[in-house]
């Protein structure tokens, strides 16, 4: 499908979008899905550091993020979700670049599992766009998460990726 003809709106989510955020996260099949209540709170309290993508009026993806309380110049990206019907169109990149530009953050952090090549490529493209490098360091090892016996699933290590400096636009 030719995405040039599609109407794509990128905007801050509202509380009315909370259920859609939950549906999008759950629909990925790979994100840790939080309670629907958490997405309502997220849309209420962190909408300025998050983005929702609508394609032809339909929720198609979101990025949840926040400015770190200990370092308000750092934008932490928590979840990136794109509905399977809208993948392969560069929507995650459009959302990320718009959110970074809107935030005016000097630094970006996110966590990514080693097998998530799409996310690694997405944040590497952001670093390239800003003329900087992306750095990786271990952050959360599997033993820090609840056990498989407790949750029914294991959790891979999450590495911290850092993109800085971000160019101010």
Domain ranges of the chain: 3-163
* pLDDT at residue number 73: 97
pLDDT over 90 (residue 1): no
Cα separation, 9 vs 113, in Å, equals 29
* pLDDT at residue number 169: 62
Report the sign of the C-alpha dihedral through residues 35, 22, 162, 107, in that order: negative
Dig out the tokens for 157 from the structure: 């290590």
* pLDDT at residue number 5: 72
* pLDDT at residue number 3: 52
Tell which phi-psi region holds residue 29, choosing left (phi > 0), alpha (psi between -120 and 50) or beta.
left
Alpha-carbon torsion, ordered 146, 163, 76, 85, to 10 deg: -80
Alpha helices in the chain (DSSP H): 18-28, 36-45, 91-103, 117-129, 148-151
Query: Tell me: domain 3-163, CATH 1.20.1560.10, correct?
Result: no
- The overall average pLDDT reported for the chain is 94
pLDDT band of residue 35 (cuts 50, 70, 90) is very high
**Segment 94-151, tens digit of pLDDT:** 999 999 999 999 999 999 999 999 999 999 999 999 999 999 999 999 999 999 999 8
């Amino acid at each position: 499908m030719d995405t040039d003809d599609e109407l794509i709106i990128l905007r801050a989510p509202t509380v009315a979008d909370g259920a859609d955020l939950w549906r999008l996260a759950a629909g990925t099949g790979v994100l840790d899905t939080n309670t629907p209540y958490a997405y309502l709170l997220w849309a209420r309290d962190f909408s300025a550091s998050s983005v929702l993508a609508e394609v032809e009026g339909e929720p198609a993806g979101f990025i949840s993020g926040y400015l770190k309380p200990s370092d308000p110049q750092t934008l932490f990206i928590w979840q990136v979700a794109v509905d399977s019907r809208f993948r392969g169109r560069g929507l995650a990149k459009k959302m990320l670049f718009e959110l970074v530009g809107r935030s005016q953050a000097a630094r970006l952090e996110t966590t990514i599992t080693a097998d998530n090549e799409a996310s690694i490529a997405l944040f590497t493209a952001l670093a390239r766009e800003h003329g900087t490098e992306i750095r990786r360091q271990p952050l959360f090892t599997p033993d820090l998460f609840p056990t498989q016996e407790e949750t029914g699933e294991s959790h891979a290590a999450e590495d911290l990726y850092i993109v800085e400096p971000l160019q101010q636009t």
